A and B are shown apart, each in its own frame.
Chain A
Amino acid sequence: MNEILPILLAGVIAGAAPIVLAAIGETITEKAGIINLSIDGSILLSAMTAFVVSYKTDSLLAGFAAGAFTGAAVAAVVAVFSIYLRLSQVAVGFVLTLMARDLAYFIGNPFSRIQGPQILPLPIPLLKDIPFIGEVFFQHNLTVYGSLLAIVFSWWYIYRTSYGLTLRSVGENPSASYARGINPHRVQLMYVICGGLLIGLAGAVFSLSTKPGWGRPQGAEGIGWIALALVIFGGWNPVKAACGAYLFAFLQVMGIYLQGWFPSVPAQVFQVAPFPLMILTLVIIFALQKESIKVIVDRKPMLKYWLRLFASSPPAALGKQFIRQ
């Protein structure tokens, strides 16, 4: 067990890296009051561009930049359509998610199943030698360290800086922000694009690190939907959302182990299983928030304490449109 555990945990940390980035990107987007439903397709499209660009230029940096740019571009479409054209965010996001996926398959077709560049591990000197912790945290590649930094940084930014407070204010009540001299539309546009940048990076991490290469299917399919669910799971808090991402990655890794233990069950089942399990978790959280159940919970202090961790209220203006008169 002592040998398996660090390997398993290191696998979780590494496997969750893109999911963490995507969930944080979507959290930032929704904090500004906009739902970017396009993220599943957006991740695939970014993964494709990142792979193709780094393959053509032979530069990983260019690949990551291209991925981030793609994510930002898709997000910009969502933002402009919903903020300035006042279209339903869900409708635009959903169309884009399908379209971006098809676009990725179409353009990426000639680059399927070919060997491309891939980011190499960069163990951190000294830290990597710490028993257990070094093995779990410090023997990864740069993208994984980046995902860990992103958690801390996004939390600090949202809750500890004045920009973060402005961001939250717009998601809560754009009319009030406007009355206080903030331009809600500009703030929304900016953070939707920032969120898109992270979502694009998540795609790049997939095709250059987590599941290197391109193909149909790539393997990142469905992750965007999980990231959307994680935002709710995390109660619109990037740290909790990231915890959810690790839980999901853990389920995925467990699937591989369980496959070995139960060879009679088809492997495909274990690949799909984490998805419904994650959604099921969400269902339970939703159900526990219901008022009728809250009354029962109120009488049990222990339960109430644990539930508080999951207490989530979306930004009050999430999905609503602010119209300047």
Chain B
Amino acid sequence: MTVNFRKSVLSSLIDLAITIFSVGAFTSIILLAAGAPPLEAYYNIFKGAFGSWTKFGHCLKAWIPLTLCACGLLYTFRIGLWNIGIEGQMIMGAVFTTWVLRLGTDSGNELFFIITAFFAGMAGGGLWAVIAGFLKTKSGVNEIFAGLGLNFVAQGFILWLIFGPWRQPGSASMSGTETLPDNLWLPQTGALNVPYAGIIITISALVITAIILQRTRIGLNLKAIGNNPDSSVLFGLHPGRNMLLAMIFAGGLAGLAGSIQVSAVYHRLIPAISSNYGYLALLVVMLAGFRPGLTPVISLFFACLNVGSIQLPMVLKLDSSLSGVIQGSLVLATLAIYAWRKQKGVIP
């Protein structure tokens, strides 16, 4: 027993070492090709993420929406859906939140409007997800295409709002709508200057998701349908309804992420409000092997990479997309090693 345990820990450590080495080698080659010193680049990413409390606070601010999206994706992956539409769901969450908060300007009842705005965000994301869900279950449209189409629509919608009805007084611009008054912001305190309410919401979402997926009938239903929709019917399950349910969970959580982007990070609606966190969350969940436990850890790591690499253009005149290259190659390397081990029969 202990020998086996030690063996498996050892082999995991070896896998981890191989992964890190190959990703490091790959990104170093890329950096050298771009004419940049690799070690300096890594050091700058590290400094960008952990250089000061404020910087780490930024990481946490990125961690919140990323983890919320990843949490939502745990549901859809469990039932076998590729919810690529999560970007659009996050955008619609942000739009609905902005809408409510704009109504709340000068209302004198800020708390009410902030809370309503969060629920509106969830509703917006959920609505967008349900549309994709209906297209999938009722008309047989692959969820990847339905989601992508809706992402494009959401992107068009947000641009229309920013350049149309919600444009800044004076001239409309890509910098977004007018900034909301600060009494409608999510309160941020402490040395980290992070919205603790957002962190609490995210942690509760994580815990609830883990319980639902592992300890309840809903989780079992999602897993059964995800593994074999045909036979799940013989067990009295409704694949269509459960798919909609999973989509609503995912969309609601993505919408919540959008709410936080508006009320705690940007304080207005900008064209890139989603910061691509939806797509990134897909990578997070894949790297976490679809396990709720690993998801927050990996999403913190990814958030730090993202925030840290913002340093690159300023210091080394490099594009900040290096973080995406590191994240992508990490996922690919992990998948490859996992598959290789499985073929060798190490993993049953």
Contacts and interface: CB of A to CB of B under 8 A. Distances in A.
Is there direct touching of A and B in the complex, by C-beta distance under 8 Å?
A: yes
Interface stretch (B134-142, B191-199, B214-222, B230-238): B134-142
Contacts of A280: 149
A98 B319 CA distance: 15
B153 A98 contact: no
Interface in B151-178: 152-153, 155-156, 159-160, 163-164, 172
Contacts, number: 142
Contact of A106 (B141, B144, B163, B319): B319
Given A98-B324, A102-B328, A276 B283 contact: no
B52 interface: no
A275 B33 contact: no
Interface stretch (A21-29, A81-89, A139-147, A234-242): A81-89
Nearest to B279: A98
Q: Taking chain A's interface residues, is the majority helix, strand, or loop, or is none over half, making it mixed?
A: helix
B286 A95 contact: yes
A94 interface: yes
B141 A272 contact: no
B208 interface: no
A96 interface: yes
Interface stretch (A193-201, A246-254, A283-291): A283-291
B159 A283 contact: no
B156 A273 contact: yes
A87 B289 CA distance: 13
Interface string B276-304: 00011011001000000000000000000
B282 A106 contact: no
B156 A106 contact: no
**Interface bin, chain A:** 35 or more
A99 interface: yes
Contacts of A108: 319
Given A86-B343, A107-B34, A283-B149, A268 B321 contact: no
B100 interface: no
Contacts of A225: 145, 148
B318 A106 contact: yes
Contacts of B343: 85-86
B139 A106 contact: no
B286 A102 contact: no
Contacts of A266: 159-160, 163-164, 172
Given A107-B30, A279-B149, A268 B163 contact: yes
B325 interface: yes
Contact of A85 (B150, B282, B340): B340
Contacts of A290: 139-140
Contacts of A109: 34, 317-319
Interface residues of B, number: 49
B82 interface: yes
Contact of B328 (A95, A216, A283): A95
Contact of A99 (B144, B152, B328, B339): B328
A272 B335 contact: no
Contacts of A86: 339, 342-343
Interface string A210-250: 00000010000010010011001000000000000000000
Interface in A123-165: none
Contacts of B321: 101-103, 105-106
Contacts of B17: none
B332 A283 contact: no
Contacts of A276: 149-150, 152-153, 156
A90 interface: yes
B322 interface: yes
A232 B155 CA distance: 23
B329 A99 contact: yes
A282 interface: yes
Given A272-B152, A289-B140, A96 B328 contact: yes
Given A91-B286, A286-B140, A287-B140, 20 more contacts: A94-B84, A95-B332, A98-B279, A98-B327, A99-B324, A106-B319, A109-B318, A109-B319, A228-B145, A229-B145, A268-B163, A272-B155, A272-B159, A275-B149, A276-B152, A282-B145, A283-B145, A283-B146, A283-B149, A287-B139
24 contacts: A81-B332, A85-B335, A86-B342, A87-B336, A90-B144, A91-B286, A95-B335, A98-B327, A99-B328, A102-B324, A106-B321, A107-B34, A109-B317, A109-B319, A229-B145, A232-B145, A265-B160, A266-B160, A269-B156, A272-B155, A273-B156, A276-B149, A276-B153, A282-B149
